[in-house]
Structures are given as C-alpha cells and as structure tokens.
Amino acid sequence: MAKNKVDINGINTNNIKVLKYNEMIDLFNKYKDGDKNAKNTLVEGNLKLVLSILKRYQNRIDNMDDLFQIGVIGLIKAVENFDLSFNVKFSTYAVFMIEGEIKRYIRDNSQVRVSRSLKDLSYKIVNFREEYLSKNYKYPSNKEVCKHFNISEFELANTLSSLNEVVSIFEPIYNESGDTMYLIDQIEDKNIKNLDDLLSLKEALSKIKTREKIILMKRYVDGLSQAEIADMLSISQAQVSRIENSALNSVKKLIL
C-alpha cells in the first residue's frame, strides 16, 4: 500500500506553509514589480504541490530527495512564467510544469532507480507467465495475470515497463565512415505531433470536473466497463454514460 506522506531529508513537510488565494495574488503582483523576496515566498508556499505529485512516484523511484529537487525546479519555472492574465489557478498551471520537469528527468536520467518492490513484482509476473506457458502451452492473458496478482491492467503495464532499459533519443544506431545516425533521426514528425496532442489532452483533463476525470480514466486507462464503474461509484450505469459523454464533449472543446 502506498504511503500517504513523502519523506524528504532535511525538510519537515508538516511545517510547510500553504499560501491563501489572496496572498498569492498579492505576491504575484509584487514579483511582477520586481520584488525577488515575493518569488521566494511563492516557491516556499507551494512546495506541497511538489510533494503531492511525488506521491505518484514513491513506489517506483527510490531517490525521492533528488526527485523533490527536480520538482522544485519545475515549481520555480512555473512561478517565473505564470501570469495572472492566464485566467487559470496557479496550482493548475504549476502542476503541469512540475510534473513535466519530473517526467523529463525520469526519461532522460539513466541513474533513476526503479523501486525494489516494483522490480520484485515485475519478476514475479515474468515467472508466473513462464510457469503458465510450461503448463498450458500458451501465455496467460493480461486479465488472468491481473486477477492472479490482484492488480489493474494499468498497473500491469506500468510494472512490466520497469524492466525496460532507458534509451536516449541521441543513442547512435548506425555509424559508417564517420556518418553517425542517431535514434532521433528515425523518429517521425508525427510522434512530435502526438506528444503535443498528449500534452493538450492532459491539460484538458486537469480542467474538467473531478468525477468526469475519474470516469474517463477508469474507462480509457483502466479499461473498465460502464457497469463496473457504476458499481464502484454506487451510481447507475445511465449516470456513468451521461457523465462520460459530458466529459468527452468538455475535453473536445478544450482541445479544439
């Protein structure tokens, strides 16, 4: 079970101050007028945003102290680039920036260590699949694996991905007579477009209602049926259907 609190060496996370909305507005106006102390106060008063994001990674990454520092860099960039005219909450804008910085670090830093618990589970899954193959002459389905280990298909994919080696997009894949070709040279432009689409989708999801987001995630990430979600949320399937359609329409409007 995941911990509810992220422990960072040298920091008492219980004593971190959280700024009120009016304080934020005042500090951003002061920072815009050149007050450097206002910037520091804004960063210190929003550190809990970083901690809230780190909770998602504490069962996957061992070096949380380093990841915290990376998250703070994202927070600083958010403070530096935020403008009250954006007409969005600072937390909405900052979370997007912080998580982007963290994911970039995890993707690019080969020294990031996957947590032992995740590795152990991944090896157990591999062994289970091999034993299943030897007995049944075929690999188990994802649903069978998930049922055996009591995990979702999303958790299964996330666990098995921990076995993959991180490859840099600047990895040389061909070298002939000094003419080097890198992995990035083989990535089609459409992948860049797909990345832009994903970022737009993520930003749109952050702006819709919480229940709408939950239902979309359960439907299209966890792969649950409307009936399963209805049972989970103690509502009717018709309600799930209406909320899902409303959520999809809201996301489409925010992206287009």
Indicate if 102 and 122 belong to the same structural domain.
no
Look at the chain and report how many structural domains it folds into: 3
pLDDT reported for residue 149: 92
Q: Does position 9 have pLDDT exceeding 50, yes or no? A: yes
Indicate if 103 and 19 belong to the same structural domain.
yes
| Sign, CA torsion 227/228/229/233 | positive
Q: Is residue 170 part of a domain?
A: no
Indicate if 131 and 44 belong to the same structural domain.
no
Q: For the segment 173-227, what is each residue's pLDDT rounded down to a tens digit?
A: 445 444 555 444 544 444 444 555 666 777 788 888 888 888 888 887 777 788 8
Residue 32 belongs to what H/E stretch? helix 21-32
Long-range Cβ contact pairs of 72-75 (< 8 A, separation 24 or more): 72/43, 72/47, 73/101, 74/50, 74/98, 74/99, 74/100, 74/101, 74/102, 75/43, 75/46, 75/47, 75/49, 75/50
Q: Of 161, 194, 226, which marks where a domain is finished? A: 161
Q: Is residue 96 part of a domain?
A: yes
Among the ranges given (28-32, 128-132, 180-184, 198-202), the one the predictor scored with the smallest mean pLDDT: 180-184
Residue 91: pLDDT band (50, 70, 90) is: confident
Indicate if 63 and 101 belong to the same structural domain.
yes
pLDDT reported for residue 186: 46
Q: Is residue 202 part of a domain?
A: no
pLDDT reported for residue 141: 86
Indicate if 125 and 96 belong to the same structural domain.
no
Q: Residue 114 has what DSSP assignment?
A: B
Q: Is residue 75 part of a domain?
A: yes
Indicate if 93 and 21 belong to the same structural domain.
yes
Indicate if 29 and 95 belong to the same structural domain.
yes
pLDDT reported for residue 26: 93
Domain range for 102 is 13-108
Q: What proportion of the chain, given as a percentage, has pLDDT over 90?
A: 11
Q: For the segment 61-77, what is each residue's pLDDT rounded down to a tens digit?
A: 667 788 888 889 989 99
pLDDT reported for residue 8: 58
pLDDT reported for residue 136: 79
Indicate if 34 and 95 belong to the same structural domain.
yes
Q: Is residue 94 part of a domain?
A: yes
Q: Report the CATH number at residue 59.
A: 1.20.120.1810
pLDDT reported for residue 184: 46
Residue 166: pLDDT band (50, 70, 90) is: very low
Q: Report the CATH number at residue 139.
A: 1.10.10
Indicate if 103 and 18 belong to the same structural domain.
yes
